[in-house]
Amino acid sequence: MRIRCTAYSKSGESVVEIIEAASADDAAERLRKRGLFVVSTEEASGDAERASGAKPGKKRRSSPKQVAVFAREMSVLVSTGTPVVEALHAIERQSTNEGVKAAIGAVSAKVEEGMPLSEAMGEQPQMFDAVSRSLVAAGESSGQLDKMLERLASLARRQAAAQSAIAGAMVYPALLICIAAIVLGLMVAFVLPRFGGLFETLDTPLPPTTDILMTLSDILRSYWWGIVPAAVASVVGFVWWLRSEGGAAFRDGMVLKLPKIGVLVRSFATARIARLLGVLLESRVPLMEALPLTRAAMSNRNYTALIERAEELVTKGESVSSALGGSDLIAPSVCEAIRNGEQSGKLGAVLLNVADYLDEENETVIKSLSSLIEPVIMIVLGLIVGFVAVSMFLPLFDLTATAGGGGPPV
């Protein structure tokens, strides 16, 4: 028989394949041996085969906030006894985002055909990742779908809050940098040329700093038609390189080495690992399934490799704490907390407590960093503008001093 399998790769990408196998379990086992995490299997029909062979266009991934809203609304509706299909239709009708509306509509159509909600969500990977699907599957199997949806909503809200905190902390510094660039551009394009004409009438040697600024202004005004496209092309090329495999590996490694920033990135990644593992384990997801799901949700390749190594060691019988220990990516105190959780049999609860503590610490660090970055940018901006102003007025001061010293005695 031909089995249509939906799975996730190690990088978190969705993979849909049609496999000739004796049973669905046999097909799923083949994909697991290839390092894929299988989320759903079904007998393939002709339409399914054509759908899997098609190359759908790239869909924009939904934000954690959208997932949180969906999960929260579903939890409320399901807890009041509303059938899943009716709840999906209600959320679809009130959704204002076209992408979310289409994804929920596709999920509701599959559920109406008899597919479980978790498997229907698995066919919309642009909105629901493997972690979301696993939590919903745990809720379906345990009869506590509303509670699992609430956990999913809480998890998505935490992720959205972390992203919002980082973005909010960077808004003001980014605005200051943009203002600085605009101010310098206006000075080079309009202010310095006016001083250039004045300096020519003085017929006196210019100070080195003034001469450098005037030369820079002449070059920028004369060759802007080549400099601007070259700068834009450099930025685009650099961004494209960062998105490549080699550039992404360099970026993920370099960001961990930056002063202050590297510590914050480690803390955020550790908090995400702890929260994902804690929520999955508390939802009765087996550890050997929770680790691949957590790995797929990590964006930094160094942490992806760390969890992949942990999977191998746990498979051999080692504990999670020892598997995650021995690396500077996870703080020793976190590993010790995990070890205590393993010994007490409350690993999921301990991980959630660790995640809560780290999230609180991260919020404090972000606020302190933003409060330090803002005055530093202001000081640098003031120094640059002051340097330009002094360089422009220095020849006038020299001329005034020369005229004052060479005049007739009174």
User: How far is Cα 204 from Cα 82, in angstroms, rounded to an integer?
Assistant: 86
Which pLDDT tens digits describe the chain residue by residue (410 residues)? 667 777 776 555 666 777 767 677 777 777 777 777 777 777 765 444 434 433 344 455 668 888 888 889 999 998 888 888 898 988 888 888 888 888 888 888 888 888 888 888 888 888 888 788 888 888 887 788 888 888 888 888 888 888 887 787 778 788 888 887 888 778 777 777 877 777 777 666 778 888 888 888 888 888 888 888 998 999 999 989 988 888 888 988 898 888 878 888 899 899 989 988 888 888 888 888 888 888 888 888 899 999 989 988 888 888 888 888 878 888 889 999 999 998 888 888 999 999 989 888 888 888 787 777 778 888 888 888 888 888 888 877 766 666 555 444 44
User: How far is Cα 216 from Cα 192, in angstroms, rounded to an integer?
Assistant: 10
User: How far is Cα 100 from Cα 106, in angstroms, rounded to an integer?
Assistant: 10
Radius of gyration for the alpha carbons in the chain, expressed in angstroms and rounded: 30
Residue 12 is encoded by which pair of tokens? 């978190």
Burial class of residue 407 (count of CB atoms within 10 Å of its CB; 0-12, 13-18, 19+): exposed
| Contact partners, residue 176, CB within 8 Å, separation at least 6 | 374, 377, 378, 381
Q: What is the pLDDT of residues 254-305, one digit of tens each?
A: 988 888 788 888 998 999 899 888 888 888 888 888 888 888 888 888 999 9
Q: Are 365 and 264 in contact (CB under 8 A)?
A: yes
Q: Are 398 and 213 in contact (CB under 8 A)?
A: no
Buried b (16+ CB within 10 A) or exposed e, 203-240: eeebeeebeebbeebeeeeeeeeeeeeeeeeeeeeeee
Q: Using alpha carbons, select from 334, 331, 362 the residue that is nearest to residue 347.
A: 334
Cβ count near 372 (within 10 Å): 11
User: How far is Cα 234 from Cα 144, in angstroms, rounded to an integer?
Assistant: 53
Q: What is the pLDDT of residues 296-331, one digit of tens each?
A: 888 888 999 999 899 888 888 888 888 888 788 888
Burial class of residue 375 (count of CB atoms within 10 Å of its CB; 0-12, 13-18, 19+): exposed
pTM of the model: 0.69
| Sheet (strand 37-43) strand order | 14-20, 2-8, 37-43
Three-state DSSP at 231 gives helix
The domains found in the chain, sorted by start residue, are 2-53 (3.10.20), 64-128 (1.20.81.30), 157-393 (1.20.81.30)
Q: List alpha helices for 244-328, DSSP H.
A: 245-255, 261-282, 287-296, 301-315, 320-324
Look up residue 115 and give its amino acid.
M
